[in-house]
Structure 1
Amino acid sequence: MRVGTVGTRSEIDYGAVFRAGQAPAAVLTPDFVMVDVNDVFLKVSGRGREEFLNRNVFDAFPPNPAESEDSEQQGAQMLRTSLEQVLTTRRRDFIPLQRYDIEVADRPGVFEERYWSTVLTPIPGPHGEVRWIVLTTEEVTDFVLALRRSGVGGEQEQRTDSLALQLQTLNDQLRRAHREQRETTSALREAIERQRRLVYDASHDLRNPLTGLLTELEVALSEPGCDLQRMLRKLLRDAERLNDIVADLLDLARLDTETHENDRLIDLAEFVTEELDRRTPGVAVLTRLDPHVRVRASAIRLARLLGNLMTNAERHTNTTIEVVVAADPPDAVLEVLDDGPGIPPEDRERVFERRYRREEARLRDPGGSGLGLSIAREIAQEHGGRLYAAERRDGARLVLRLPLAAK
């Protein structure tokens, strides 16, 4: 496998990286057939590569001569259970401490007592299935023997294996706790960054209409003979603009704390029809709405999402907007299409960034905040869906996908 780097012709030989690993490792198929082992694995086992390749892992390792038949069967069953667990859950699994003795080099029939801690890691294929299983093991013999030597009497010796297993379990728990701590810290940083951007957006977007209001009021006070009706109409437009911006910013703030207690079953065709009846668009709106396409969502949030998509389409379209509802299991699909200038491929993600506005959008609507599509996408994500700009030859095509609700 090769991976190129930008601006260079360097490559990574992953086979060489695997073989040079510091811990004994083997690659297994989903049928538990060994297809590769690294150099450390061969060194530790004292055997040749040909003794492992293309052999089932349970055939490649003979019974441990130092263990009883019951213990050997228990160890093999433990490995098999762990492998099947990896195939079922597609998640890493840890095998409790096991004993497997190794034959002493140059002394046939003489085995040394060895203890191992093993991890099984699934490697996914192109469709998410488990394609390979990497078996990695670490020898913990010295640790187990040290615990045994520190004990007093036979009872302590019998408890050594159990104590080692408890320590291994504790170590695994500490790893998980550390990973969860990193994830929590990352989430907190993202939340702080969102709040910082929210304050910046508020300051920037509120400044222009506030400046306009102040200017008009100063003119009204300094020029008593001015056209009061004209000035009031302009002040009203600035106040409406302020109200729209505040509504957008409040929506962004709510999305960080939104719960789904008010979610309900919504028939998208009926919902879209009702919402479009409430609007007074200046262009023709055509619909193709399949019945019985249901989602579970907040009606208020979904109305906000659809409203933002329609406002965006009205801003850019030339003559006609089309709204489509259809089922594409496992998703419900809602599309809003316009016949405007469209969105270039390089901008299809950027239009969902907060406050990003293309030059054409700024010319058509200089007062826009650039928050509408960002809010719409975040609402979609809060409901387990996604919103994206799809390819269309003439105009823009915004696609919302939400999980279909169970019947």
Structure 2
Amino acid sequence: MRSEIDYEAVFRAGQAPSVVLTPDFVIIAVNDAFLKVSGHRREDLLGRNLFDAFPPNPAAPADSEQQGARILRTSLEQVVTTRHRDFMPLQRYDIEAPGRPGVFEERYWSTVNTPVPGPHGEVRWIVLSIEEVTDFVRALQRAGAGGEQASLALQLQTLNDQLQRAHREQRETTSALREAIERQRRLVYDASHDLRNPITGLLTELEVALSEPGIDLQRILRKLLRDAERLNDIVADLLDLARLDSETHEGEHLIDLAEFVSEELDRRTPCATVLTRLDPNVRVRASAIRLARLLGNLLTNAERHTRTTIEVVVAADPPDAVLEVVDDGPGIPPEDRERVFERRYRREEARALDPGGSGLGLSIAREIAQEHGGRLYAAEHHCGARFVLRLPLATE
């Protein structure tokens, strides 16, 4: 018969002094070895923040004690963010002498911080395990003239910390470069894929026009014009993506959304009935060109799917300005409301309605919204699709 393991008893009896912390560094468990090395009682530590229970020594040199507390906090924050174990170098961190509040003892430690994952992969707890090396450092101090060897040990600690920071920065830089290369690769793929069909159509029609006498040139020219317009739309999409990826921003101005939407609608030839509910004096700070691109993409998407009517709404919902584009088409299933914003993702209905579409319009619209500190999402709607843009309200 398999016996149950008492994990709490195993933890308490562990030889390595250890503390269990919440992600905001509150102590929820300590083992006996930690109580022994720190000289504290369990009831004095549980429920307290680690840095309140073990405050820095105010009398210690600023470049040792304060640095030790800073390095420890940085390590714990890194564990919460990256969800990876962090091995810390030797550090000085004085603690209060048992039974003598305000009297600190000089102590040196080597520390390992280990994340404990929750059911969804989040960091549920952190296990802080320490090894005291005070005796080793003091032996170096006694052996070296004027503490030169101890000073060397601390210099090595500082160097190790600097190397770790440099390594983290290098990883972050490498990751950013890899993402940039991947974006460029996707951009080249999108360009070659999207441009191929209209170019092929243009070449085919030109060959037919040249090879067949008496052909209806007006019909051919109309088809060539449609293919050229498709090419122009795709190139505009790709230029937008390139501009967004390179984070180049155009000048932002104060824009009245109601006036802006009215002007943009006047420029379009609607393919359906467009109803508006535009509250006045709803202002945002944005690039008019970028905002026009966003609205145009939403309207084009609505025109593609609507049955009879499109509704455009402008309203204030502090602290946000809200712009909605609603159609009465088939709508978007809940499981696809995020996927429609992925680059090149197109639902089956969209491919059937517009086989030559690039699948980039909604992705571009969302990135423009984020570029302006806002968000764009597909909201629930009883009939059709409802896209909601929220931007920070602006004042004069």
Please give the residue correspondences for 1:1-400 in structure 2 after superposition, counting only pairs within 5 Å.
Answer: 22=16, 24-25=18-19, 27=21, 35-45=28-38, 49-50=42-43, 52-53=45-46, 74=59, 97-100=92-95, 114-116=107-109, 139-142=132-135, 144-149=137-142, 151-152=144-145, 154=146, 156=147, 160=150, 167-260=156-249, 262-400=251-389
Once the two structures are superposed, residues 104-153 of structure 1 have per-residue CA deviations (whole angstroms, 9 ceiling, x without a partner) of xxxxxxx99743478999x9xxxxxxx9998775534255325424531x
Q: Is the alpha carbon distance of 1:237 and 1:406 closer, same or farther for their aligned partners in structure 2, counting shifts above 3 Å? A: same
Once the two structures are superposed, residues 83-113 of structure 1 have per-residue CA deviations (whole angstroms, 9 ceiling, x without a partner) of 9x98xxx96899972334878xxxxxxx997
Note the C-alpha offset of 1:229: 1.0
Could you list the runs of 5+ residues in structure 2 that have no partner in the other structure? 1-5, 80-87, 99-103, 117-123
C-alpha distance in 2 between matches for 1:60 and 1:251 = 53
Note the C-alpha offset of 1:57: 7.7
Identity %: 76
C-alpha distance in 2 between matches for 1:57 and 1:212 = 69
Once the two structures are superposed, residues 271-319 of structure 1 have per-residue CA deviations (whole angstroms, 9 ceiling, x without a partner) of 2222222222122222222333333222211111111011101111112
SS at match of 2:93: strand
C-alpha distance in 2 between matches for 1:58 and 1:360 = 57
Amino acid at match of 2:201: G
Residue range with higher mean Cα deviation, 45-54 or 301-310: 45-54
Note the C-alpha offset of 1:323: 1.5
CA-based RMSD: 4.4
Note the C-alpha offset of 1:46: 6.2
Q: Is the alpha carbon distance of 1:208 and 1:55 closer, same or farther for their aligned partners in structure 2, counting shifts above 3 Å? A: closer
SS at match of 1:74: coil
Note the C-alpha offset of 1:324: 1.8
Note the C-alpha offset of 1:208: 1.0
Task: Work out whether residues 25 and 40 of structure 1, in 8 Å CA contact, stay in contact via their aligned partners in 2.
Answer: no
SS at match of 1:322: strand
C-alpha distance in 2 between matches for 1:166 and 1:175 = 14
Amino acid at match of 2:134: T
Note the C-alpha offset of 1:385: 2.2
Q: Is the alpha carbon distance of 1:38 and 1:185 closer, same or farther for their aligned partners in structure 2, counting shifts above 3 Å? A: farther
Q: TM-score normalised to the size of structure 1?
A: 0.73
Task: Work out whether residues 16 and 131 of structure 2, in 8 Å CA contact, stay in contact via their aligned partners in 1.
Answer: no
Task: Work out whether residues 97 and 117 of structure 1, in 8 Å CA contact, stay in contact via their aligned partners in 2.
Answer: no
Note the C-alpha offset of 1:45: 3.6
Q: Is the alpha carbon distance of 1:357 and 1:133 closer, same or farther for their aligned partners in structure 2, counting shifts above 3 Å? A: closer
Task: Work out whether residues 313 and 323 of structure 2, in 8 Å CA contact, stay in contact via their aligned partners in 1.
Answer: yes
Note the C-alpha offset of 1:258: 2.8
Q: Is the alpha carbon distance of 1:222 and 1:348 closer, same or farther for their aligned partners in structure 2, counting shifts above 3 Å? A: same
Q: TM-score normalised to the size of structure 2?
A: 0.75
Could you list the runs of 5+ residues in structure 1 that have no partner in the other structure? 1-12, 64-70, 104-110, 124-130
SS at match of 1:235: helix
Aligned residues, how many? 362
Note the C-alpha offset of 1:245: 1.0
Q: Is the alpha carbon distance of 1:364 and 1:319 closer, same or farther for their aligned partners in structure 2, counting shifts above 3 Å? A: same
C-alpha distance in 1 between matches for 2:215 and 2:355 = 26
